[in-house]
Structure 1
Amino acid sequence: YEFCKDLRILDFKFAVGCSTSYCYVEAGKDIKRLRSRAKHPAKLHVWGGISTRGTTDLAIFKGTVRMDSKLYCEILETCYLDFSQRAFNGFAKLVQDNAPAHKSAYTTRRLSQWSVRTVEWPAESPDLNPIELVWGSMKAYIRRQHLRTTEELENAIRTYWSQLTPEICQKYISGIQWRMPLVVSARGGNIIERNPNKKGIQVSAIEETDSESEEDDNWF
């Protein structure tokens, strides 16, 4: 199967000042120097797609907004259809997961009206979806920025996205060729990725791009 015309999309939520870091303090020690974290930090919902010819426009909206079929189709009409026409002359194939908004009767009807071709995708298969690695890399980038406002968060997201060249997207997507046999061997289960063309084992395929550090690779 050739993946060169597949356009992979995903939506994700990012929170301001949210990380998985922990700080341990001995009993009786002064903890005034520690800064508390918001219990319910502000979040942004992000939608985007990658292909061998680059990225779609981003759709960014408040994390409290529910992604239903109508909103999803509005995003596709704004961000996907135009890019598909420009980059693939309308011959791209849409790769989406099995979220309710993606598979509803309303969405199916709209996709048919737009003559959008889709690729059937197995449920719960992040190991096969290169854009999952993009989100992991983006999260690592955002964590390093120490952001405090939703405006700063949105700017960081857009800055990262603007740096995703077609060449970088191609490296993410090409990795599926050597991951597929691993997933088959694992009978569809999770895999520890080992690129047969490189030495060592790591948790993600971020090494397929120009990763910034070994720490970032292992974080995702």
Structure 2
Amino acid sequence: MKVHLPTGEPNAPKHKAKTMQDWLRDKSLNVLEWPGQRPDLNQTEHLWRDLKIAVQQRPPSNLTNLERICREKWEKLPKYRCNKLVASYPRRLQAVITAKGASTKY
């Protein structure tokens, strides 16, 4: 079974640790090769972009106002947006594989 460890590249020190390697082997899991620093594959980055756009539409006048606006906008991010990001993940992953790790339209 292939799995993605969302903590980064499979060669990251935390994945090379003996305890992690033992755990993966015991579970019969293989780590999917994963390019590091891929915002196009990180759903949270897409949500942060949505939040930034929302804040730009209503620029804050100070830090307190910025925090209030961010909290309001974050709470109003529609659930369907999260569902859409999850549903699009296989397509985005395939785009990265096809591009051999190069930039994608996502």
Q: TM-score, normalised by structure 2?
A: 0.64
1:158 aligns with 2:71: yes
Q: Report the equivalent of 2:85.
A: 172
1:95 aligns with 2:17: no
User: Structure 1 counterpart of 2:64, which letter?
Assistant: E
Q: TM-score, normalised by structure 1?
A: 0.33
Q: Report the equivalent of 1:148.
A: 61
Q: Distance in 2 between matches of 1:164 and 1:97?
A: 26
The alignment of Structure 1 onto Structure 2 pairs a total of residues equal to 83
Q: Report the equivalent of 2:43.
A: 130
Point out the structure with max Rg over C-alpha.
1
Instruction: State the secondary structure of the residue aligned to 2:104.
Output: coil
Per-residue displacement from partner, 1:82-138 (whole Å, max 9, x unpaired)? xxxxxxxxxxxx83447xxxx5xxxxxxxxxxxxxxx87641111111111111111
- Judged with a 3 Å threshold, the aligned counterparts in structure 2 of structure 1 residues 163 and 97 are, in CA distance, closer, same or farther, namely farther
- Judged with a 3 Å threshold, the aligned counterparts in structure 2 of structure 1 residues 153 and 96 are, in CA distance, closer, same or farther, namely farther
CA displacement at 1:146 relative to structure 2: 1.7
Gaps spanning 5+ residues in structure 1: where?
2-93, 104-118, 194-220
Q: Report the equivalent of 1:47.
A: none
- RMSD of aligned alpha carbons: 2.7
Q: Which runs of 4+ in 1 moved over 2 A?
A: 94-98, 119-122, 164-168
User: Structure 1 counterpart of 2:97, which letter?
Assistant: V
Gaps spanning 5+ residues in structure 2: where?
15-30
Instruction: State the secondary structure of the residue aligned to 2:101.
Output: coil
Q: Distance in 1 between matches of 2:80 and 2:70?
A: 19
Q: Distance in 1 between matches of 2:52 and 2:7?
A: 21
> Where do 1:39-78 residues align within 5 Å?
none
Instruction: State the secondary structure of the residue aligned to 2:77.
Output: coil
Structure with higher strand content: 1
Report sequence identity in percent: 28
Q: Distance in 1 between matches of 2:6 and 2:74?
A: 19
Q: Distance in 1 between matches of 2:76 and 2:40?
A: 23
